[in-house]
Amino acid sequence: MIGRILNSLAEPRVVPKIFAFAIAIVLVFSLPLPFHLNPEQVYPKPAPQLQMELAKKNIDISYNLAPYNRGGLPVDPDNRGIVKSQYKSPYEGWITAYLTPFSQWMRDVSYHLGTTIVAHPGGILDEILYYTRGLDTILESSILFTAFTIASWVILNRTRKMTGE
């Protein structure tokens, strides 16, 4: 009996299923824990609702970027964007507000293009991600490219075997 169970466990096919099941059990135990968000987060932004209210009240065009606005002026040490990062740098908050002319035009047109502006090249720079946490960006893409390398190797050899080269 025990031998049969152990033999079935030795199959590579069942290992991911057992592992996923074990993780599910552990995660169920995490549900009743008293979870609270620490208010002193390192990478803050004003709440989106607040950004929109300010935009309507002041007719301040820069708040058309909500919910991605961090304020500030580009390359101006006196008017920096709101950047509170873990690893300090003397130049943080300088380039958060930079927009290309096309993005500036989109910002002037409507209240509702914030997501579009942040999602296209030349829009809002996520300064925290690209400047104060630069290694993350490199590492994430290197994981992706390693996966691409492995997949292309496997597929290349498969097709070579199929065509008989």
Torsion, CA 62, CA 65, CA 67, CA 73, rounded to 10: -50
Least distance (Å) from another protein to the CB of residue 56? 31
Q: Is residue 97 exposed (0-12), middle (13-18) or buried (19+ Cβ within 10 Å)?
A: buried
Nearer to another protein, 23 or 109 (CB): 23
Least distance CB 53 / another protein (angstroms): 26
- Within 78-164, residue ranges assigned H as helices are 101-109, 114-119, 127, 134-163
In the complex, the smallest distance separating the C-beta of residue 135 from another protein, rounded to whole angstroms, is 5
- Complex with another protein: residue 79 or 89, whichever CB lies closer: 89
Indicate the residue among 39 and 101 with the shorter CB distance to another protein.
39
Give least dist CB 80 to another protein, A. 16
Q: 114 or 127, CB closer to another protein?
A: 127
Query: Hey, how many other C-beta atoms are within 10 angstroms of the C-beta on 38?
Result: 6
Return d(Cα 104, Cα 117) in angstroms, integer: 9
The vertex-45 CA angle with 43 and 48, nearest 5°, equals 145
Number of C-beta neighbours around residue 164 at 10 A: 5
**1 vs 154, which CB is nearer to another protein?**
154
We find the least distance from the C-beta atom of residue 103 to another protein, in angstroms, to be: 26
* Residues 151, 119: Cα–Cα separation, whole Å: 28
Binding site for another protein (CB under 8 A): 9-13, 15-16, 18-20, 22-23, 26-27, 29-30, 33-42, 86-87, 89, 131-136, 139-140, 142-143, 146-147, 149-150, 153-154, 157
